[in-house]
């Protein structure tokens, strides 16, 4: 049982470095500091990859450790999509198109 969690940690660290490397190399998921609360926190560029890493964790957990219920997968997927769309201002663009 312990080896499953060791494999999980190794997989998460490896996938984290891979996603970070690809996003830095190709400038994917770059966080734009256009809001006041983001400018206050830091001035350097960073990448919004936390949600992707959580999604990778839940997929690995579902397939290799414990089967999640379909409602859990739907719930986590919807939370990921809402966060993803709001980070890239897709929700605000849609709301501004409404009459």
Answer with the residue of higher pLDDT: 92 or 39.
Answer: 39
Predicted confidence band of residue 77 (pLDDT cuts 50, 70, 90): confident
For residue 30, the cross-strand partners are 47
Through-space distance between the first and last CA atoms of the chain, rounded to whole angstroms:
56
Asked if 57 contacts 12 with a C-beta cutoff of 8 angstroms, the reply is yes
Q: What is the pTM of this model?
A: 0.60
Backbone angles phi, psi at 32, to 5 degrees: -90, 125
Identify the residue whose tokens are 């006041």: 36
Report the number of distinct structural domains present in the chain: 1
- Residues 54-73 have pLDDT tens digits of 878 878 877 777 776 778 77
């Amino acid at each position: 049982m312990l080896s499953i969690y060791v494999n999980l940690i190794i997989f998460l660290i490896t996938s984290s470095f891979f996603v970070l490397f690809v996003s830095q190399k190709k400038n994917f998921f770059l966080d734009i500091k256009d809001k006041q609360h983001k400018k206050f926190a830091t001035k350097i560029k960073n990448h919004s990859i936390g949600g992707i890493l959580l999604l990778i964790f839940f997929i690995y957990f579902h397939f290799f450790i414990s089967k999640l219920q379909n409602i859990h997968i739907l719930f986590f997927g919807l939370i990921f999509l809402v966060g993803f769309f709001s980070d890239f201002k897709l929700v605000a663009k849609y709301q501004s198109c409404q009459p």
